[in-house]
């Protein structure tokens, strides 16, 4: 069973990462088979046409898909994104947007996840999927924690 303390500390670690801070992405929740990330739109997210830059959608979908798969991995395994497909359905200029990632399949070497981005009014803005490579000992969560000079509680705990 997933250790709630691990998830709590992991979310803090993710939210302190430079890329999340650059885009103002906020990891809200991670659980078995899902993740939730939010972003409050700012002028830095806009293209010269004053609509959201497509790369923001891509980053959100990639991140949400990745973290939706993470809880089911062995602690010594990591993930590398192989590809991301993003379908831009609508634009947004302001407000809070939320992306929900969902694990589709976790395999021994390849995983598949999808994500959808919604406006604060519930309108679907983008949908996409990500194919991820499971690595053995490469880009593990312990390596991520070490880069931040910290450690995380164990990922799994015994069922009560």
Kindly report the CATH number assigned to the domain that includes residue 24. 3.10.129.10
* Domain-embedded: residue 158: no
Is residue 132 a part of any domain in this protein? yes
Convert the pLDDT of each residue in 99-125 to its tens digit.
Answer: 999 999 999 999 999 999 999 999 999
Full domain range(s) for residue 83: 4-147
Residues pairing with 127 in the sheet? 87, 116
Would residue 123 count as lying in a domain? yes
Does residue 156 lie within any of the structural domains? no
Q: Is residue 11 part of a domain?
A: yes
The answer to whether residues 141 and 153 touch, using CB atoms and an 8 Å cutoff, is no
Give tens-digit pLDDT for 23-56.
999 999 999 999 999 999 999 999 999 999 999 9
With respect to residue 160, please indicate whether it lies within any of the assigned structural domains: no
- Count of the separate structural domains present in the chain: 1
User: How many residues comprise the chain?
Assistant: 160
């Amino acid at each position: 069973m997933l250790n709630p303390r691990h998830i709590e500390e992991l979310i803090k670690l993710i939210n302190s990462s430079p890329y999340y801070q650059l885009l103002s992405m906020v990891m809200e929740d991670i659980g078995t088979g899902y993740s939730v990330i939010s972003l409050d739109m700012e002028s830095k997210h806009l293209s010269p046409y004053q609509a959201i830059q497509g790369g923001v959608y891509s980053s959100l979908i990639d991140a949400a898909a990745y973290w939706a798969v993470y809880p089911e991995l062995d602690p010594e395994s990591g993930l590398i994104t192989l590809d991301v497909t993003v379908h831009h359905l609508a634009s947004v200029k302001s407000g809070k947007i939320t992306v929900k990632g969902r694990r589709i399949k976790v395999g021994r070497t390849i995983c598949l996840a999808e994500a959808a981005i919604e406006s604060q009014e519930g309108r679907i803005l983008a949908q996409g999927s990500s194919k991820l490579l499971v690595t053995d000992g490469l880009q593990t969560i312990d390596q991520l924690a070490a880069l931040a000079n910290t450690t995380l509680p164990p990922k799994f705990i015994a069922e009560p």
